[in-house]
Amino acid sequence: MVTRRTPAAEVRDALIAAGHRVLATQGVKGLTVRAVATEAGVAPMGVYNHLDGKDGLLAALVGDGFDRLRAATVASTDSDPAVRLRTAGRNYRTFALENPTLYRLMFSGACPVEEAGVAALGALTELIRFGQAAGIVRDDDPVELTMVIWSSVHGAVSLELDASAPDTVTVDGGRVFDAVLDMIERGCAPG
């Protein structure tokens, strides 16, 4: 039997997919080079050949995560600007809740934010500009507004992820998140 060599890109994708799987099931602590390689059906050295070791694997996973986060955020195409922005916020939260470990990893500072991260940020700014054009968002610097709104949304999601471990706080996450969105709406309204 002749063992065919798998194409390089295929192995790379398999490793990243395996990384996401391990991350979701075993957590950050279980994300070892050996575990990911085994899950992908590859020797541990594959992580060094196709990615740049563990750091490269992390960077690839985080980059992939930002791509998916951006896609989830811009998914809404509702014509009403208010519900479009609110849906974007809710989709953002849904992504974080569905990929808690990945989301935390993305903002853990473990690997420097790169291309995909700034792309996601740019998509957010585009959303803000859309809201400004519709007249429901105040006419400040869009980039600064993006950081302000993103801060609140990201903070709400982060705290919800942290509190989900025990029942530290008895407040309902969804209610708080909607309250944050309400506050943003009031605080960023024109005038």
Partner DNA sequence: ATTGTTGTAGTACATCGTTCTTCTCTAGAA
Partner DNA sequence: TTCTAGAGAAGAACGATGTACTACAACAAT
Cα 46 to chain centroid, rounded = 26
Rounded to a whole number of angstroms, the minimum distance from the CB of residue 181 to its own copies is 10
Rounded-to-integer distance, Cα 58 and Cα 34, Å: 14
Rounded to a whole number of angstroms, the minimum distance from the CB of residue 101 to DNA is 14
Q: Which of 17, 24, 35, 113 binds its own copies (CB under 8 A)?
A: 113
Number of residues lying near its own copies (CB under 8 A): 44
Alpha helix (H) residue ranges in the chain:
8-26, 33-40, 46-50, 53-73, 81-98, 100-106, 115-133, 142-163, 173-187
Q: Which of 16, 18, 31, 153 binds DNA (CB under 7 A)?
A: 31
Q: Over the range 22-36, which residues count as b (16 or more CB within 10 Å of their CB) and which as e?
A: bbeeeeeeebebebb
Q: Which residues bind its own copies (CB under 8 A)?
A: 104, 107-109, 112-113, 117-118, 121, 140, 143-145, 147-148, 150-156, 158-159, 161-163, 165-166, 168-169, 171, 175-176, 179-180, 182-189
Q: Which residues bind DNA (CB under 7 A)?
A: 2-6, 8, 11, 31-35, 42-46, 48-50, 53-55
